[in-house]
Amino acid sequence: MALGRLVALREGRRPDPAADDHLGAIRGERRIIRGARASSLYTEWFPPAEEGGPVVVFTHGLCLTESVWHYQKRDVCGGPYGVVTWDLPGHGHSDRIAPGELTQEMATDALARVVEEYAGPAGIVLVGHSLGGTVTLAYLARHAKEAREHVLGAVLVSTPLVQFAHSVAGRWPGAGLEARVLGKVVRYLVESDMIDRRLARDVGSDTDTLSYRVVRVGFGKHASPSQIRYIRDVIASVPPQVRADAYRAMTAFDAREHLALVEHPTLVVIGEEDRLVDPDESRRLGAALPDSEVLALEDVGHAPFLEVPAAFNDAVTRFVETVRRDRPEADSA
């Protein structure tokens, strides 16, 4: 209890530059598209300033929704690229699904539907965070023919080489005591009825709650308290059964089986203070991909797109421009 009060006091005294950002309030054109297994997927479309630019598709991470791409909607949309954000099956405004139905394969096929819906002559760049990064990798491997036709490249953000559960639970070589402890905490977070009740009760509350302190672990030391509260509230909005299924869906993921099949250029973005996905593991992922660049961001945790949006958005737009310029050469080869 005393530790909780100390954390709340310290957090309350920190600068909060995102306090007036109204996180999650930016909305694009709402489009419902057909998903896998007769489901419907919620997407938002932000058209480019002029026709003819590529489309950037953002796929969110574990237990989140498309609304977390707030700063990308604010700063990237309305420029030379079209932007799509979408909710994974069972998340956000996408159709509710039956318990146990959400799998890595279903999420991957859902991304294939999004690509099919928004593909245009200028191509698509995929951006995936954490679970969204693993779904992106699986899509490039399992839907290779369509990916060669439509996809220019992929940005993998805080993405593990081996699935999240193995990584944080210490079943990956080099995982230390902190990883094992965090693994137990995350599993408890997604599977515990008590935590679910606590999350629901804490929505909208300040920094003096257990749920805030748990979510705080995923951020770097300079993260805005408003951003942490926001992510806590987004996690609470995802149905408990979906949180548990999404976590279990990752227990079968191993990127190593996909790497030889990935032909596209990739940008791997790492937060150096990420305690959920080991930065060194993401470096190994980047080193194993055939055409990859690794960008490591200091003092940043698991959500660089929130914590340092300017640096993140700049990296994404530079990557899009690079793969866009390279496309004619690839097409003529």
pLDDT for the residue 329: 46
- Interatomic CA distance for residues 124 and 246, integer angstroms: 25
pLDDT for the residue 198: 64
Q: Which residues on neighbouring strands pair with residue 295, listed in sequence order?
A: 269
Which residue, 67, 59, 64, is CA-closest to 109? 59
- Interatomic CA distance for residues 48 and 269, integer angstroms: 24
What is residue 162's DSSP assignment? B
Task: With beta carbons less than 8 A apart as the criterion, state whether 103 and 270 touch.
Answer: no
3-class SS at 61? coil
- Interatomic CA distance for residues 171 and 107, integer angstroms: 24
Task: With beta carbons less than 8 A apart as the criterion, state whether 55 and 125 touch.
Answer: yes
Candidates 4.10.140.10, 3.20.20.100, 3.40.50.1820, 3.30.300.30; CATH matching 28-332: 3.40.50.1820
Q: What is the pTM of this model?
A: 0.89
- Interatomic CA distance for residues 314 and 270, integer angstroms: 15
Tokens standing for residue 83:
């932007």
pLDDT in tens, 198-215: 666 677 667 678 788 888
Tell whether the torsion through CA atoms of 200, 203, 208 and 214 is positive or negative.
Answer: positive
pLDDT for the residue 254: 80
Which pairing describes strands 82-86 and 55-59: parallel, antiparallel, or unpaired? parallel
pLDDT for the residue 255: 80
pLDDT for the residue 331: 45
The chain-wide mean pLDDT, for the chain, equals 85
Task: With beta carbons less than 8 A apart as the criterion, state whether 114 and 84 touch.
Answer: yes
Task: With beta carbons less than 8 A apart as the criterion, state whether 124 and 152 touch.
Answer: yes
pLDDT in tens, 118-163: 999 999 999 999 999 999 999 999 999 999 999 999 999 999 887 5
- Give the amino acid at 322: T
Q: For residue 251, what are the contacts with CB-CB under 8 A and spacing of at least 6? A: 163, 165, 166
Which residue, 191, 235, 194, is CA-closest to 212? 235
Q: For residue 276, what are the contacts with CB-CB under 8 A and spacing of at least 6? A: 130, 158, 164, 168, 182, 186, 217, 218, 301, 302
Q: For residue 246, what are the contacts with CB-CB under 8 A and spacing of at least 6? A: 62, 63, 88, 90, 91, 102, 131, 190, 238
Question: How far are the Cα atoms of 52, 77, 150, 320 from residue 327, in angstroms, in the given order?
Answer: 14, 22, 11, 11
Domain boundaries, the chain: 28-332
* Owner of token pair 């950037």: 56
- Local mean pLDDT, 10-residue blocks, the chain (333 residues): 47 80 97 88 96 95 96 96 97 92 93 97 96 94 95 96 57 50 60 62 71 88 93 90 83 78 95 90 91 96 97 98 77 41
